[in-house]
Amino acid sequence: MPYDISEDKREWYRQVSARSRRRKTAAIKGHLAHNPNKLNVPSLRPADLMPQQKGHGARALSLFSGGGGLDLGFERAGYTHVASFDILDICQATLRRNRPEWEVQSGECGDVTLVDWDAYRGKVDLLHGGPPCQPFSIAGKQRGHKDDRDMWPAFIDAILTLKPEAFVAENVPGLLDVKFHRYINDVILSPLAPYYHIIKFKAVASDYGVPQIRKRVFFVGFRSSTAANNYKIPEPTHLPDHTLFSTGKSTMGAREALGLDDVGFDCFAPTLRSGFTGPRKSTSILNSKASQAVWEQLKIWPNGVQTSRERALRFPPENGHFRLSVQDCAVLQGFPEDWIFEGAAYQILGQIGNSVCPPMGYSVAKSVARALGV
């Protein structure tokens, strides 16, 4: 259905669009004033949030791997990588670019509904993944099992076939809404209950040093009752001094994390939207009107994200705010600078926005390893 707006408003949108095209053309030709010495250097080093742990031998299989958020977090927590599966070829390209020694499957071979998991029997100690969250997110209309993107049944099937010692599943908090209680019980918990002891909890990325308000829900399952009883939900690593349970470490605000000038205001970035959702090939990370107000206070422009910091610097927004690059978005998501994403800007933003923040995945991975005693 077309938007019900006035002709005056439509004309305003047309003028804004035309002006934007003219500015982009001017930027490409180098006609927009910019200071080449103002290239930002991030203050946050996400790798420091995930000190590399010694390998302990536990073997991890990754489903719905995307850009590698959980894969990277588990690797740095000392797990041995078995294989990664994602239906998108661009995700395979990213994972192979960063870890050429990994087994990575995509396309039909990466479609978890078609994989013969018998080939991996006895080779997997832990299975992890984030089944597509759109069926349970507000942006995805929360259609649940009626959504063709619902991959929870395929994830459960892989667990029941492989019977790993443990599994970790991640999704949006919307999955815990009352409307999905029956779904959780019938599709997730009931099939696994005869074999696994399951703990579910919510986590916030900013509690683990990631400068973003990003909430997620985790399901952690153990075959052993002893491991389940030993399991402790990962404690926040970054709670500032003025809080009741201070950890002595504070999470940077978005501007500080990106190495931007002090403008008298800083806070965590709003949740970054995936470039695989919304308008086709969108290079915006804006996910709501409320988040737009936060970006404006931060003086950071959330639209027209560029493929490099140099390109972003040459294309300043009209209002003088800081234009983001995909590298900046990766930092705000908790990816180290040396983790390189393949693809066009919208594909990179899709991989970033769909991923688990690696430091959050890292903390969960360490908590599972402790419970397993490895």
> What does the pLDDT average to over 83-89?
97
Ranges 68-77, 80-89, 237-246, 281-290: which has the least confidence: 237-246
> What does the pLDDT average to over 74-79?
98
pLDDT on residue 247: 77
Q: DSSP letter string over 193-219?
A: TTT-EEEEEEEEGGGGT-SB--EEEEE
Q: Which of 91, 133, 329, 357 is catalytic?
A: 133
- At CA 177, angle to CA 289 and CA 204, rounded to 5? 65
> What does the pLDDT average to over 148-163?
89
CA distances from 49 to 68, 79, 127, 259, 310 (A): 16, 17, 23, 17, 26
CA–CA distance, 49 with 66 (Å, rounded to integer)? 21
Q: Assign 312 a pLDDT band (cuts: 50, 70, 90).
A: very high
> What does the pLDDT average to over 39-64?
98
pLDDT on residue 137: 46
pLDDT on residue 132: 80
CB–CB of 245/287 below 8 Å? no
Q: Would you call 109 a catalytic residue per the annotation?
A: no
pTM: 0.90
pLDDT in tens, 332-346: 999 999 999 999 999
pLDDT in tens, 54-63: 999 999 999 9
**Domains along the sequence of the chain with CATH:** 47-240+357-372 (3.40.50.150), 250-354 (no CATH)
> What does the pLDDT average to over 277-293?
86
